[in-house]
Amino acid sequence: MIDVIVAGAGPTGLMLAGELRLHGVHAVVLEKDAEPTGQSRALGLHARSVEVMDQRGLLERFLPLGEQFAAGGFFAGIGKSWPERLDTAHAYVLGIPQTTTERLLTEHATELGAEIRRGCELVGLSQDEHGVTAELADGTRLRSRYLVGCDGGRSTVRKLLGVGFPGEPSMVETLLGEMEVAVPPETLAAVVAEVRKTQLRFGAMPLGDGVYRIIVPAEGVAEDRATAPTLEEFKQRLRVFAGTDFGVHSPRWLSRFGDGTRLAERYRVGRVLLAGDAAHIHPPTGGQGLNLGVQDAFNLGWKLAAEVGGWAPEGLLDSYHIERHPVAADVLDNTRAQMQLLATEPGARAVRRLVSELMDFEEVNRYLIEKISGIGVRYDFGEGHALLGRRLRDVELKRGRLYALMHAGRGLLLDQTGRLSVAGWADRVDHVVDVSAELDVPAVLLRPDGHVAWVGEDPADLLGRLPRWFGAPVTT
Ligand SMILES: Cc1cc2nc3c(=O)[nH]c(=O)nc-3n(C[C@H](O)[C@H](O)[C@H](O)COP(=O)(O)OP(=O)(O)OC[C@H]3O[C@@H](n4cnc5c(N)ncnc54)[C@H](O)[C@@H]3O)c2cc1C
C-alpha cells in the first residue's frame, strides 16, 4: 500500500511530496495534466517561502533564476519602500515565475524519490479505518494510508469529501495573458500609466524578448472560468480601457481569473486532507496564494510523516487545521481589504490615499509587510515567550548558519547552555550545542517547520515539552 497519495502536482503538492520523502514516506503524486501548463500565474516568493527553501537547502537553486526586489508595492500595489530591519535574513521578494518554481520543486521531490505520475486524474475516493481508495479516470484504483488534495481551487478531492467552501463568488474578472505588442515600449508605458490613474486592474509588464504580461478587466464574469479568452476578447477589452489594443499578437497563453474568496470548512476528514488552493481561494493581490500553499505543505509534511512513521503524538495531525486555517482566513481578509483599495469609486480611492499615508508610519508599514510576506505568522502554542509559536529567523552560529542545519526536516534543539539533552528523541530531534550573538535566549526547540516549540533552559521543562510535538521517547 502507498503511504500517501498527493493529488495535484502544483507547487503545494510538489512541496508536500518533497517533505514526505525527507522522512522516507512512500509518496505518489497524481497529476491530471500530461505536461506542465507552461503558464506562470504566480511571479514571486515572499520572505517566508524564501526561508522555507533555505531551510531545505533549495535556495541555491532558486536564487540564480530569480530577481530580488526589496521595494514595496505588495500591499494593494501601494508603492512604499520596505521598513528597516525586518525580522528575516531574506528581506526581499524573489521574483521567479511559477513554472520555474514548479520545475525546481519537481526536481527536488523526484531526487528524494517521490513518484510523480502525470496524466492521472483522480475522479473518486472512499476511505475506511485502514486507508483510502483513489479512483482514476482510466478506472485504476490505488490504495494508500492517507491522501492529500492539492488539486487546486476547483478541487475534486474537496468536492468528493463534501467539505463546505463558504465565502463570496467572483464579482469581477480579469483577463491575463502573455503576448507581443506592435507599438514601441515607450508608447505602451505611457498609455498604461495614464489608464492606471483610474483603473488599477490594468497593466503591462515586460518579460523580455518583446513579450508582455498584460492584464485588463473582463466584461462581466464568465460562467466557466476554465475556458480561456480569445485574443479578440482581449483586444476588445484593451480598446475599452486604453482606446487601443496595442496591436497585440502572438499570444503565448491567455487566461482569466476572478476574485472569488472562499475557505474550506475543514482541512481534514479522516485520512484525507486538503492543502493549498484546494483549501482556500482569494484574489491574487499581494501575490500570496502560492506562498500560502507551499507553507501549508511545510506545516503538514512532517506531521503526516510522523503519523505514517508511527511516532505522532495525539492531536499532531489535527494541529494542521488548527494552525493553518486561521492563517488562510487572515490572508483571505487581507485580500478582501486590498480589493477594496483597488476599487475605482471616490470613497475607495479616498481610503486608499489614507492607507497610503498611514503606511508612512514605520510600524504600520512593518505590520502589513509581515502579514503579506508570511514572517508575522504565530501559531497559538499557549502562553509563553514572545518567540513561542513563531518561526525563528536564520541566525549565524559559530559553526555556520542555523538554516543550513535544518535540511533534513528534523526537529532541532539549539542549545546555548550545553546542559540540555534530547536523549530519547535523538532519532527525531537534532541537538546542536552552539552560540549565536543574534539569539538572546538560552535554548530553543524548533519543530521541523522551524516554528519555536519551546524556549528556556530548564532540562525538566524541556522533557515535559518534547512529547507534545515529537511523541514518546525511545527507551534503550
Ligand atoms: C493571475 C494570478 C496571479 C497570481 N500571482 C501569484 C503570486 O504572485 N504569488 C503567489 O503566491 N500566488 C499567486 N497566485 C496564486 C497561485 O498561482 C496559486 O495559489 C497556486 O498555483 C496554488 O498552488 P496549488 O498547488 O495549491 O494549486 P494549483 O497550482 O492549482 O495546482 C493544482 C494541480 O492539481 C492538478 N489537478 C487538478 N485536479 C486534479 C485531479 N482531479 N487529479 C489530479 N490532478 C489534479 C492541476 O492540474 C494542477 O496541476 C496567482 C494566481 C493568479 C490567478
Q: Tell which atom from ligand 1 comes closest to the C-alpha of 153.
A: 30
Mutate to test the pocket of ligand 1, among 41, 215, 257, 299 (most ligand atoms within 8 A of CB): 41
Give residue 176 CA to ligand 1 midpoint distance, Å: 15
Q: What is the pLDDT of residues 322-378, one digit of tens each?
A: 999 999 999 999 999 999 998 888 999 999 999 999 999 999 999 999 999 999 999
> Per-block average pLDDT, block size 10, for the chain (476 residues)?
98 98 98 91 94 98 94 84 89 95 98 98 97 97 98 97 97 93 94 90 90 93 84 95 94 93 98 98 95 98 97 97 98 95 91 95 94 96 96 96 97 97 96 96 98 97 96 88
Helices (H) and strands (E) in the chain, counts: 12, 24
Taken in order 386, 387, 391, 397, the sign of the CA dihedral is positive
**CA dist., res. 372 & res. 47, Å (int):** 9
Q: What is the Å distance from ligand 1's center to 244 Cα?
A: 32
How many of the other CB atoms lie within 10 Å of CB of 289? 25
Instruction: Phi first, then psi: give them for residue 398, nearest 5 degrees.
Output: -60, -35
Which pLDDT score, from 0 to 100, does residue 418 have?
96
C-alpha cell at 114: 517521490
Ligand 1: distance of its center to the CA of 173 in Å?
17
Q: How far is the CA of 367 from the centre of ligand 1 (A)?
A: 27
- For ligand 1, what atom is nearest to the CA of residue 36? 49
The CA distance from 116 to 126, in Å, is 22
- Predicted local confidence at residue 476, as pLDDT: 67
Q: Residue 72: its pLDDT value, please?
A: 76
Q: Nearest Cα to 118, choosing from 22, 15, 10, 24?
A: 10
- CA 18 to centroid of chain Cα atoms: 15
DSSP 151-178: --TT-HHHHHHT----EE--S-EEEEEE
Each residue's pLDDT tens digit, 189-200 = 999 999 998 888
CA of 296, closest atom in ligand 1: 26
Strands 261-263 and 167-168: antiparallel
Cβ(274)–Cβ(280) below 8 Å: no
Q: Which of 138, 140, 151, 263 should be mutated for ligand 1, with most atoms under 8 A from CB?
A: 151
Count CA within 13 A, CB hemisphere, residue 137: 11
For the CA of 14, the nearest atom of ligand 1: 25
Q: Could you give the CA distance from residue 153 to residue 264 in angstroms, rounded to a whole number? A: 10
The residue nearest atom 26 of ligand 1, judged by CA position, is: 276
What's the mean pLDDT when you consider all of the chain? 95
- pLDDT for position 71: 74
- Using CB distances shorter than 6 Å, the residues near ligand 1 are 7-13, 30-33, 41-44, 98, 121-122, 150-152, 156, 176, 257, 276-277, 284, 287-291, 293
Do 74 and 286 meet the contact criterion of CB atoms below 8 Å apart? yes
pLDDT per residue over 140-163, tens digit each?
999 999 999 999 999 999 999 999
DSSP annotation string for 180-235: E-SS-HHHHHHHHHHHTTT-TT-EEEEEETTEEEEEEE-SS--S-TTSPPPHHHHH
Q: What atom in ligand 1 is closest to the CA of residue 288?
A: 11
* Cα 28 from Cα 44, distance rounded (Å): 27
Q: Candidates 6, 15, 16, 32: which one to mutate for ligand 1, based on the most atoms within 8 Å of Cβ? A: 32
